Structure 1
């Protein structure tokens, strides 16, 4: 290496704000997303989707469609079933509160007997062009017997069952906690705060709609699927099960991915169907979702309807928190659907507070709506939203300053490690100090003057706190591969996957830190299942902890192999070989060899002894066991125009503890993105169905994604306390913005509306809902929950 290692460490090591490696390519428009991919002779698939939310499927008439120009085939669920493809089974991993097993219904890639939501695929048209396939799909006629539909989880128990084997539409009757002890705590409480808390359904709406290209290699009896996803290793294994083939018979490839945050992690019916078609027709088959279809076909997020209760003693100390209610699963189940309203709510609702008891009871219900999956945070923002709304409401009801109430209940640094009633153990954190820094950054003491100025302008002004803690990085197995290439570069191979986060730079920074490899010589492979021996994909804010730990451990293995090989080449004893700053050297001398030079020498060194490694390459898989606990305090100030209900966010401050920041610039960007998604859910994003199950908010004309004008400038500060649960000291940051934003924004909205007597409003606090709440209060002096 011609440049001293110290130069790379200072500029590109851990803790440096290094630009994203992939940005120049993306900014030049040279990214390779799924729809950019094409193969010679490819055909095009279009799905025939149900226009009914609930109906018996008596028959499918494709007579006219089959004779249309360019059409090669039209497949139904019967065709796939005859080939022993399906069903698509999810894994709940939990039992009902009475100890009985959950009965999971079968989902076929193309439904056979009944349609259960608008947009469900019932057939697939294959044609020479996409336009020909679309025209033919419109000519397919469904013979159905329409059934009553239900869209609200709270009403699903009395509705027509979606499945014969799931009476009352109840998939899972979940319960956590000691109900008797919790009831006792509430019985002796001096005060109980109780709030209805609706976590509204979200359309994920990534920048890149889903697309996939399937091919079949007949000689090798092997499928290849190119698509955007969050992890190719798990996607390969799950799809192989549905297809009835061994994982080795399927290769999954992913290039650039234009956003996901949960939605693209699942196996979808379209992927299975085009793989079947590619084999049946002997030609590649491409499918690309249109935006109007994606509102129906992509999994939605959230949709929980719970009542939160917080029991406090006379001094305001927390005695217990209890959450009871319903979760809307949609029409089918994915692997992540039940986690947010059940176990992840349990783990995250306690937050930064000493709360002796927690109880969560959730009835997970099927409805005639688009299936729900993981969405940014998947239960972490929800749990924090519930607790922070309860804390702010309790402070108002008891006449205790909201800051003082939080301080009275903080888990103190001296109490860490702290075992929570949710079964987690916090390893690090300085929660009181984080709150104090946020108060200073937000100019908390100057709020009165700003509120007075807003009043002079006829506006309502409020401030809100979101003092959050997340349980991130669920246990998983992750790969950290390091390969020294012939051209002098080094490739990192790992099973997480970048769908916008910017993995290449921080992963390279870990390698710079551990091995002294020049930053510009490091490449990253994540999107090829053939390259992986393990991989949990990206999710749960786990990437830098899981992949970073695996890369660090793999680096240690490289060093151990290098010491053996350097000792041989330098003719020195193993115990005399040391490694530092990218160089192996004989202790006490200036004799040594750089790591890249050693890798090059090995390729030219014949006749190594049999007991020595043949290269520095490492394939390593780490079993990541311990979670981490990022936390922080977000403070928002909003102004509301009572004449229109319009809300604007005037100030937004966040102080976060993400542990060791591998790349502070990327961390801040992730926090900004999460906050904007939280603002959207809190104020504008409303997924609405009519009573017949038709999606009323089915386009960007009707669905309120936040725009740049809806967001403030953010004040971002860090108060990092290194995690003790991983070698890097990192805690994860990708979903924390949502966890802080939901309660901060909604507490601010309620604080503003409290001036006119409104003490609660559900998300999304749209202008219409706010105006209705104000009008209801002014007309009869009592708060009424506004309608959508």
Structure 2
């Protein structure tokens, strides 16, 4: 007979909406972010950046700066090269269509020959105070011969375009191709209907609440860097390569992080330059980015320019999908480089639909702009956006109801497991059911009445669907560590990193479920590279799957160790020891068929007295991705007089598999939706022809505000994943994947009566007013 489930385990176990452990500390202002850190005797650094988008460096005169009060050093790229530091690491790249490797230009830590974007770092000033460093940075004289600049990827590919690197002809890093071109061409040739669209995935400025900051020092003969990051294990390895030291020669520490969205996963030039300065001066050196500088120096997101096409038969069944165009990489290659516009687009663009063939061709171009890196979703929202815009447009062109067209082409539940032409194997899901549930929740059938009511108020109202599927958790290795501490607490060690998601509670919930450890005794340690044996960081919506599975593996090892130790304490054979995680006072080891046993926390103390331990440190290699999916339905009103669009109603039904903490899942979805709304309506990154960033502050760049966020209808239709121990699928980037297509489809639907068939992001008031009053599409 099973023992009754402990109510406290129900309260804090998997599936419960447990509050975030870290919130009381953060809400009291007691968080420890990178700029909060100071060390005795620290100096301060300021970067000297290029005011030109493109130009040849003739000289850098630092004499006046060095003579200014408080200045300790002015470091240039030549100084770093002489010290054997550099070049910067190159991230993931894709091969050319002919199988040859991508062209990867060399990026020095501080540029020495040419500047290639406004904000390109050319020197670092170190002084006693931040004010002294700023004053001296303004005194560094740059002798630069300006060159013509190019800011658009399509323009960078044109004949006669300015060339950024002599060893990258035509500015082309990679001419990527995926798919059977001949088969796709045949499908298009035999199609009854083809929908074609030119579509932009607009560039965004990544805007976490916390700007980048770092504090470098040398301790016990090795480098130590305290910084915001998305994972200390990988960051240590990449910076160590730049510094040309073994991994053990560098320690990376990350405390609280005020957001990242992909941006803080990269190695930036400031980090190795700071480490060099700390070693050279023999004292800590701190740097904190200003918000104005972060607009220039932090990697941007998105920026793709595609033609997308969908071939259909006479009944509207999809035959083939083609995506062709350009990706703007900026001036240098970031950590993710070509991935969002190449393989991540391939993996995600098929979404929830039976599409026999897919072809993606992307020319990845260098331009005189801030480098582009990963941004919330990194190809997942993009792929879903392209497909959903195509579906709506094809439905309108063919005279088929847009809901019916989706129904005809769904991958049905009885067809799963399903191998998509992207090479992905969908393991679970019920896409038709989610669409129907979303339509009902959104009151789809009564939309015409709401549209008529809006029209009476002088507003145009549209409704849009964003039916999405993401490929999350790319295969990787992750650490699962469980440490029973002398104070009676238990510490989780894992190589993901919480930069706002709230890992502490759901990870603790896994241990409550697997081991019955009291929730309030569990701590989380992620931010010290010295304590990790593996770690893929947080990205790709992988954390609960990667760390959760690793902790499940580690928990099983704790139970096995516990059975051996409990056998000694209870004077019984280990084979006779059973473990029950649901006992009254936490997990309990007991002799089968008796009432003799010992609690897991008591056993940890007893083991310590025996010179033994329940501690486990393991790694778990997971090979299979997961496939979160869902359907967002947005309703938008457009004011004809002002062109302002407002999201007035929003419904979302999602399949995130097993929800370890439903409250945090909803919060992650809300945040992603608002970021998507911002890209749709307000965020516009603009460059002048000579490469100056025109939207270089929040006076010019429109982040979404609270007024842009509607009340969200949020529901779950979970189908457990079969690819990981928890059955979870990930949720962190899904909000963007659903909001981009649903909001933009709603805007086009609102304007359809004016003959509008497509609007590119962002749909600003000025753009929509021009469409309404000047007929500008």
Using structure 1 for the length normalisation, give the TM-score: 0.97
Q: In 2, Cα distance between the equivalents of 1:642 and 1:470?
A: 35
Is the Cα–Cα contact under 8 Å of residues 8 and 516 in structure 1 kept in the other structure?
no
State yes or no: 1:724 paired with 2:722: yes
Number of the residue aligned with 1:393: 393
Q: In 1, Cα distance between the equivalents of 2:92 and 2:180?
A: 22
- Is there any run of 5+ residues in structure 1 with no aligned partner, and where? 607-613, 778-783
Q: In 1, Cα distance between the equivalents of 2:747 and 2:409?
A: 24
Give, in angstroms, the shift of residue 5 of structure 1. 7.2
Is the Cα–Cα contact under 8 Å of residues 653 and 715 in structure 1 kept in the other structure?
yes
Is the Cα–Cα contact under 8 Å of residues 93 and 339 in structure 2 kept in the other structure?
no
Give, in angstroms, the shift of residue 91 of structure 1. 3.5
Is the Cα–Cα contact under 8 Å of residues 464 and 745 in structure 1 kept in the other structure?
yes
Alpha-carbon displacement from aligned partner over 1:441-493 (angstroms, at most 9, x marks no partner):
00001101011111111211100000000000001110000000001100000
Report SS of the residue matched to 1:308. Answer: strand
Number of the residue aligned with 1:601: 606
1:206-605 to structure 2, matched below 5 A, reads: 206-217=208-219, 220-581=220-581, 582-605=587-610
Is the Cα–Cα contact under 8 Å of residues 215 and 285 in structure 2 kept in the other structure?
yes
Q: Which 10-residue stretch deviates more, 85-94 or 112-121? A: 85-94
Number of the residue aligned with 1:735: 733
Alpha-carbon displacement from aligned partner over 1:364-399 (angstroms, at most 9, x marks no partner):
000000000000000000000000000000001101
Is the Cα–Cα contact under 8 Å of residues 460 and 755 in structure 1 kept in the other structure?
no
- The 3 A distance-change label for structure 1 pair 5 and 248 is farther
Alpha-carbon displacement from aligned partner over 1:530-568 (angstroms, at most 9, x marks no partner):
000000000000000000000010000000000011111
Report SS of the residue matched to 1:340. Answer: helix
Give, in angstroms, the shift of residue 66 of structure 1. 0.8
Is the Cα–Cα contact under 8 Å of residues 231 and 536 in structure 2 kept in the other structure?
yes
1:630-649 to structure 2, matched below 5 A, reads: 630-649=628-647
Is the Cα–Cα contact under 8 Å of residues 105 and 165 in structure 2 kept in the other structure?
yes
Q: In 2, Cα distance between the equivalents of 1:45 and 1:335?
A: 24
Report SS of the residue matched to 1:679. Answer: helix
The ranges of structure 1 where at least 4 consecutive aligned residues each deviate by more than 3 angstroms after the TM superposition are: none
Q: In 2, Cα distance between the equivalents of 1:741 and 1:120?
A: 33
Is the Cα–Cα contact under 8 Å of residues 328 and 366 in structure 2 kept in the other structure?
yes
State yes or no: 1:109 paired with 2:109: yes
1:137-148 to structure 2, matched below 5 A, reads: 137-148=137-148
Report SS of the residue matched to 1:677. Answer: helix
Match of 2:772 among 765, 769, 774: 774
1:93-242 to structure 2, matched below 5 A, reads: 93-158=93-158, 159-217=161-219, 220-242=220-242
Q: In 2, Cα distance between the equivalents of 1:643 and 1:189?
A: 42
Give, in angstroms, the shift of residue 575 of structure 1. 1.4
Using structure 2 for the length normalisation, give the TM-score: 0.98
Q: In 1, Cα distance between the equivalents of 2:211 and 2:574?
A: 54
Give, in angstroms, the shift of residue 7 of structure 1. 2.6
Is the Cα–Cα contact under 8 Å of residues 758 and 774 in structure 1 kept in the other structure?
no
1:695-714 to structure 2, matched below 5 A, reads: 695-714=693-712
Say how many residue pairs are matched: 768
Give, in angstroms, the shift of residue 8 of structure 1. 2.4
Report SS of the residue matched to 2:340. Answer: coil
Alpha-carbon displacement from aligned partner over 1:392-431 (angstroms, at most 9, x marks no partner):
0000110100000000000000000000000000000000
Is the Cα–Cα contact under 8 Å of residues 89 and 267 in structure 2 kept in the other structure?
no
Alpha-carbon displacement from aligned partner over 1:712-768 (angstroms, at most 9, x marks no partner):
100000000000000100000000000000000000000001111111110001111
Report SS of the residue matched to 1:330. Answer: coil
Number of the residue aligned with 2:743: 745
Report SS of the residue matched to 2:452. Answer: helix
Give, in angstroms, the shift of residue 93 of structure 1. 4.3
Q: In 2, Cα distance between the equivalents of 1:88 and 1:8?
A: 50
Q: In 2, Cα distance between the equivalents of 1:306 and 1:39?
A: 49
Report SS of the residue matched to 1:755. Answer: helix
Number of the residue aligned with 1:756: 754
State yes or no: 1:88 paired with 2:93: no
Give, in angstroms, the shift of residue 650 of structure 1. 0.8
Give, in angstroms, the shift of residue 157 of structure 1. 1.8
Number of the residue aligned with 2:23: 23
Give, in angstroms, the shift of residue 221 of structure 1. 2.2
Report SS of the residue matched to 2:329. Answer: strand
State yes or no: 1:76 paired with 2:79: no
Give, in angstroms, the shift of residue 213 of structure 1. 0.1
Is the Cα–Cα contact under 8 Å of residues 5 and 516 in structure 1 kept in the other structure?
no
1:651-670 to structure 2, matched below 5 A, reads: 651-670=649-668
Report SS of the residue matched to 2:75. Answer: strand
Q: Which 10-residue stretch deviates more, 767-776 or 102-111? A: 767-776
Q: In 1, Cα distance between the equivalents of 2:601 and 2:519?
A: 13
Report SS of the residue matched to 1:460. Answer: strand
Q: In 2, Cα distance between the equivalents of 1:264 and 1:311?
A: 40
Report SS of the residue matched to 2:338. Answer: coil
Q: Which 10-residue stretch deviates more, 691-700 or 568-577? A: 568-577
- The 3 A distance-change label for structure 1 pair 354 and 428 is same
Report SS of the residue matched to 1:134. Answer: helix
1:39-78 to structure 2, matched below 5 A, reads: 39-78=39-78
Is the Cα–Cα contact under 8 Å of residues 349 and 384 in structure 1 kept in the other structure?
yes
Report SS of the residue matched to 1:731. Answer: coil
- The Cα RMSD (Å) is 1.0
